[in-house]
Amino acid sequence: MIVVEAVSCGYQRPVLHDISFSAEGDLCVLGVNGIGKSTLAKALCGLIPARGEILIDGKDLHSFSAGLRAKAITYIPPKLESFDGLITVHEFVLMGRYPYKDPFTAYSEKDEKLVTTLIEESTLEAGHRISELSSGQQQLLLIAQALSQQSDIIIFDEPTANLDPRHAKTFYDALNTLPETTQKIVITHDLNLARQLGFEILFLQEDAARHFKDPNIFFQADNLEKCYGVTFTINEDVIGVAYD
């Protein structure tokens, strides 16, 4: 459960002004390029300072310790940037278990087992080094790590941007393996994906967030035209993976 109250955030100059919304269910965040979708996600995870109030499960974001915040909410960036390229896939995914690790000890055997399973499901090779992965594989890697983190709220930023249809299905299957209680937030430009996910829609504008609890209202041609400023045709002849 996320409650955002009059939040303004950004970098050298603010990107988002006075945004308010609250969401209990899964959410798809849409909006034009550069409007601040990723900025909002970073503010929700406490990576950038924000004015206003952000409540995660009823608690102020700033009241969380670093470890508890990682258990409550996490964010998966669209691509991986790492100084150390020699970390293996296994080591990388294992780091998702960091918030559960006892200080002064190594990762537990239970953590190791969970990670081994997640890597098998992700179609990656445990021993490969992360610098050798393609951008699509890096995306699968980041997703696998976030799944091992088991946060209550997971924000996916453009999760399928670099994935072929088969691996996009892998991502979709991964979403379905998450517990019901996990709140999933997906940032995307892919309207077909957004529609197939069937989540509530949050359409982000510079100084407002329009919340559509019923996605069908958002996906009407005249509403889309109002939101994006271009005309849309909607028909059923699109090619899309059968996500069922």
Using CB under 8 A as the binding rule, whether residue 70 contacts another protein is answered as: yes
Identity of the residue, 11 or 221, whose beta carbon is nearer to another protein in the bound complex: 11
Using CB under 8 A as the binding rule, whether residue 167 contacts another protein is answered as: no
Collapse the DSSP code of 24 into the 3-class scheme (helix H, G, I; strand E, B; otherwise coil) and give the result: coil
**Amino acid present at 17:** H
Using CB under 8 A as the binding rule, whether residue 37 contacts another protein is answered as: no
Copy the structure tokens of residue 192. 């077909």
Using CB under 8 A as the binding rule, whether residue 135 contacts another protein is answered as: no
Q: Nearest to residue 192, comparing CAs of 140, 237, 133?
A: 237
What is each CA distance from 118 to 86, 162, 178, in whole angstroms?
20, 20, 12
Question: Which of 81, 180, 214, 222 is the binder for another protein (CB under 8 A)?
Answer: 81
Long-range contacts of 110-114 (CB under 8 A, 24+ apart): 111/148, 114/148
What x/- string results for residues 86 through 125 when contact with another protein is judged by CB under 8 A?
A: xxx--xx--xx-xx-x--x-xx------------------
Using CB under 8 A as the binding rule, whether residue 21 contacts another protein is answered as: no
Q: Nearest to residue 74, comparing CAs of 136, 6, 153, 160?
A: 153
* Interacting residues with another protein (CB under 8 A): 12, 42, 45-47, 65-71, 74-75, 77, 80-84, 86-88, 91-92, 95-96, 98-99, 101, 104, 106-107, 127-129, 132, 134, 149
